[in-house]
Every structure is written in C-alpha cells, then in structure tokens.
C-alpha cells in the first residue's frame, strides 16, 4: 500500500500553527546519548518518521529506547555495541551521526554508509579526516565507515566547508578525547548550538557554539541529562512561505524567530508583513508576492532546505527571480516537478530562473526528498484544481502532523492510499 496527497488549491491560509522540535537537531541529540551510560531524556521531540528510525539504530547498538508522546528515553549500556548495520541506517542520512559518539565511547565504530534524500553527494571525507586528526584510523570497507583508535587526543581541525554533519561527529568524538580540540570553520547552525548545550549539560566543556570556532576541552566521562529540543526553523519557515504564497495570515509558534533572520527578511522583500513574536512570528501577505532572488548558503545564510519553498514562492510571484543553489548539486531536480505544475522555470548549473505566473496548474508530481515534497504541496495550494503529490513518505520524515496542521490553517488536503 502506498499513499499520496490530494491537494486542492485556491484557499488562503489563516490561523495559528505550533512547531515541534527540530528534525535536524533531535536525531543528533539522540545519538549523543551514546556518550553516557544511563538514561538520557530528550523532550519536545517531533512526531516524524525519522525519530523511530533513529531509535531502531540505537537499539541495534544495545540501547533501550522508549518513545512516548514528545519524549524519548534512551538507556545506554556500559558497553554499547559499535556496529550500526545497513538495515538500521539505510533509510536516512542522519544515522551517520552515531560515528563520532561510538568512536568516543567504544574506540571503534562500524557504520554502514547511509541512505537518505536524493539531493546530491554528501561524502564523509571531512568526518573521516577529522577523526584521523583526533588519533583514529578510518577507512571505507565493504560499504561501511570503519574507525578505530587506541587513544583519542585533542587536535586543531579546520574544515574545508562548514559541514553540519562533520562538525557534529568531530565534536562528539572530541568531548571524550584527551586535551584540547579546536574546530575552525565549524558549522554555525542553531542545531549545532543545541547539541553543544546538551553536551555541556552532560559534563562536556564546549565553548564557541554559534561561532565558526568551537573549542572543546576533553573530559573523561559524561553523565546522562534531560534536554529539550529547539523548535524546527525549517518547518516554521515552510508555514511562513505558505502564508506568503497563498496571500494568507499565519502565526507560527514554538520557534525562535532569530534563527530565521534572513528568511523572514526575504518574505518582507516579497511584500509580506512579518512580525517577530516571543515564541515565533506572524506572516501576512495581502497582495501577490513580489519576485525575490535567493542564494543558499550555510547558516546564517538562506538554508538549502528551504530552496524548494523559495522556488514555489518565485513561481507565483510578480516578476522574475533567480535561485542559486550553493550546497547540494541535485536539489534542482525539484524544478522538473514544478514545471509539471505550470511553473515558468529554467535551470543552468547552480542557477534557476523563475518567471512568476498568477496561478499554477494541477498535475501529478513526485517528491524526491523531504523538502521537495513539502514544496510541491505548497505549490498545489496555489494551483487550479487538485494536485496529486506522490512519494509522500519523504514528507512524513520531516513534518509532524502535516495534514492536520495544513487543514487547521484552511488548506484542502487529503491523504489517499493506493494499491
């Protein structure tokens, strides 16, 4: 049985939506529980498919994991297993984040090369080179990343690109290494700060979170903790863009608006009234959006995860927009599906030129990744007729209560099962 969405366009989104914990944070926080024997509790967990998938990865490593409502309890044994096999990690890319904690705790890790979204290559070179500088040996063998170390020691590590995944794995290995580690050109995302905060609550000594330089003083042992996941800025921004595309009025709660500074500025440029609030923001779009240029960059730049939403906004904006993708080379696959919906779009290498049209036209389309799927639903909201969005399991991996939230804002969407 497979499922797809039926999205009927024409409605203006209005109302309030609550955002849960960040997908790009919770999975790494769950992996960090491997660093301490005992029970770690992660709260404000989003109800998304990737959380139970990560729970299965941890169970395969010897942990006991309980999922209840928005809370995950992870009990890590004194001696975790060190082999994350392919069956556990094949479905999502974030599973590779167990590599650093396993090297730190077990001094050995075997992690099958993971699967995930089809948005372009994401090699593990920086993960491996960072671990090698910490004293580990690391190779790719039989489809697995194999790393082992007799001893981990501090090092000065400069990343050639501020990779979120490499920063996280090196950081989690370094907290239990001997001496001081400095990571230069580190990722600055709010999710990195969230991980640093949790590690410090466990007894680590990490400074510089949110800057391009992380300094870690290694400690001998960490203790379990209880930590609340930050709100999901990508989900929050998706609802903000949806408000702008549908000329709606949406209040988004449960997120720090400061994590979305550039995104909200772009919505203002498109003609929206954007009001920051204590626990979120409000977007009101009264007229047709204006064309806006976007270029994806590591934080604090415009997120690559929001590129499909930027293309959706540009597709119905007044004027011509240029979208530049600087992070993942295959993310423009989404444009082919937008063209099915009547978008006037052309791509050339890392650039897409979008000439806005007043209304898109409904058609069957296919999701290639989490964000592309959400972007296609948003496009369906501003298309005439009913749009079929297929391969929606991608959306379920990143957006909790997607249908319920969209209906709550006045969107017309139905989940349909097909043989």
Question: Token pair of 164, please?
Answer: 């979120």
Q: In this predicted structure, what is the pLDDT of residue 112?
A: 84
Give the Cα separation of 335 and 331 in Å (integer): 8
Residue 220 predicted with pLDDT over 90: yes
**Residue 408 banded pLDDT, cuts 50, 70, 90:** very high
Residue 119 predicted with pLDDT over 80: no
With 0-12 / 13-18 / 19 or more C-beta atoms within 10 angstroms meaning exposed / middle / buried, residue 58 is: buried
**If you average pLDDT over residues 8-25, what whole number do you get?**
97
Q: In this predicted structure, what is the pLDDT of residue 418?
A: 62
Q: In this predicted structure, what is the pLDDT of residue 118?
A: 43
**If you average pLDDT over residues 42-63, what whole number do you get?**
94
- Residue 232 vs residue 419, higher pLDDT: 232
**If you average pLDDT over residues 52-57, what whole number do you get?**
93
CATH, domain range 23-228: 3.65.10.10
Q: How much is the pTM?
A: 0.94
For residue 385, what are the contacts with CB-CB under 8 A and spacing of at least 6? 8, 9, 361, 362
**If you average pLDDT over residues 84-100, what whole number do you get?**
80
- Residue 164 vs residue 124, higher pLDDT: 164
Structural class in CATH, domain 4-20+231-416: alpha beta
Percent of the chain past pLDDT 90, that is, above it, reads 86
Q: In this predicted structure, what is the pLDDT of residue 419?
A: 54
**Residue 281 banded pLDDT, cuts 50, 70, 90:** very high
Q: Catalytic pick from 50, 117, 194, 396?
A: 117
**Residue 352 banded pLDDT, cuts 50, 70, 90:** very high
Q: What is the pLDDT of residues 353-368, one digit of tens each?
A: 999 999 999 999 999 9
**If you average pLDDT over residues 218-242, what whole number do you get?**
98
Q: In this predicted structure, what is the pLDDT of residue 123?
A: 67
**If you average pLDDT over residues 262-277, what whole number do you get?**
98
Q: What is the pLDDT of residues 129-144, one digit of tens each?
A: 999 999 999 998 888 8
**If you average pLDDT over residues 298-308, what whole number do you get?**
95
In the chain, residues under CATH classification 3.65.10.10 are 4-20+231-416, 23-228
Flag the least confident range among 145-154, 303-312, 323-332: 323-332
Ligand-binding site membership of 256 (annotated): no
Ligand-binding site membership of 23 (annotated): yes
Place of tokens 């696959």: 333
**If you average pLDDT over residues 326-350, what whole number do you get?**
89
Flag the least confident range among 15-19, 84-88, 207-211, 325-329: 84-88
Q: Is residue 117 flagged as an active site residue?
A: yes
Q: In this predicted structure, what is the pLDDT of residue 328?
A: 72
HEC profile for the chain?
CEEEEEEECCCCCEEEEECCECHHHHHHHHHHHHHCCEEEEEECCCCCCHHHHHHHHHHHCCCEEEEECCEEEEEECCCCCCEECHHHHCCCHHHHHHHHHHHHHHCEEEEECCCCCCCCCCCCHHHHHHHHHCCCEEEEECCEEEEECCCCECCEEECCCCCHHHHHHHHHHHCCCECEEEEECCCCCHHHHHHHHHHHHCCCEEECCCCCEEEEECCCCCCCCEEECCECHHHHHHHHHHHHHCCCEEEEECCCHHHHHHHHHHHHHCCCEEEEECCEEEEECCCCCECCCEEECCCCCECHHHHHHHHHHHHCCECEEEEECCCCCCCCHHHHHHHHCCCEEEEECCEEEEECCCCEECCEEECCCHHHHHHHHHHHHCEECEEEEECCHHHHCCCCCHHHHHHHCCCEEEEEEEC
């Amino acid at each position: 049985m497979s499922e797809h969405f039926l999205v009927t366009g024409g409605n203006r989104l209005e109302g309030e939506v609550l955002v849960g914990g960040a997908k790009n944070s919770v999975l790494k926080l769950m992996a960090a529980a491997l660093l301490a024997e005992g029970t770690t509790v992660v709260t404000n967990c989003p109800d998304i498919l990737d959380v139970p998938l990560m729970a299965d990865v941890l169970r395969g490593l010897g942990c006991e994991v309980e999922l209840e409502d928005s809370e995950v309890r992870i009990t890590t044994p004194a001696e975790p297993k060190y082999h994350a096999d392919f069956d556990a990690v094949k479905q999502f890319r974030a599973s590779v984040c167990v590599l650093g904690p396993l090297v730190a705790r077990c001094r050995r890790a075997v992690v099958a090369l993971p699967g995930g979204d089809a948005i372009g290559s994401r090699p593990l070179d920086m993960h491996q080179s960072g671990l090698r500088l910490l004293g580990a040996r690391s190779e790719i063998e039989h489809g697995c990343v194999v790393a082992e170390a007799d001893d981990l020691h501090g090092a000065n590590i400069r990343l050639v690109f501020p990779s979120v995944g490499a920063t996280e794995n090196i950081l989690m290995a370094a907290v239990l290494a001997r001496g001081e580690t400095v990571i230069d050109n580190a990722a600055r995302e709010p999710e990195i700060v969230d991980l640093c905060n949790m590690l410090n609550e466990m007894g680590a000594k990490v400074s510089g979170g949110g800057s391009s330089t992380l300094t870690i003083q290694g400690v001998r042992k960490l203790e379990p903790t209880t930590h609340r996941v930050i709100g999901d800025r990508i989900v929050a921004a998706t609802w903000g863009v949806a408000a702008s595309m549908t000329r709606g009025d949406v209040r988004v709660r449960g997120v720090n608006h400061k994590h979305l500074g550039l995104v909200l500025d772009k919505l203002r440029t498109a003609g929206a009234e954007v009001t920051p609030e204590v626990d979120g923001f409000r977007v009101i779009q009264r007229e047709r959006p204006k064309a806006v240029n976007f270029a994806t960059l590591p934080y604090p730049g415009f997120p690559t995860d929001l590129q499909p939403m930027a293309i959706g906004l540009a597709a119905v904006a007044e004027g011509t927009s240029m979208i530049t993708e600087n992070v993942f080379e295959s993310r423009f696959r989404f444009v082919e599906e937008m063209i099915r919906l009547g978008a006037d779009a052309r791509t050339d290498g890392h650039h897409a030129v979008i000439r806005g049209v007043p209304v898109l036209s409904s058609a069957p389309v296919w999701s290639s990744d989490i964000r592309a799927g959400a972007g296609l639903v948003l496009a369906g909201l501003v298309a005439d007729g009913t749009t079929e969005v297929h391969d929606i399991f991608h959306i379920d991996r990143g957006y909790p209560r997607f249908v319920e939230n969209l209906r709550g804002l006045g969107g017309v969407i139905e989940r349909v099962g097909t043989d």
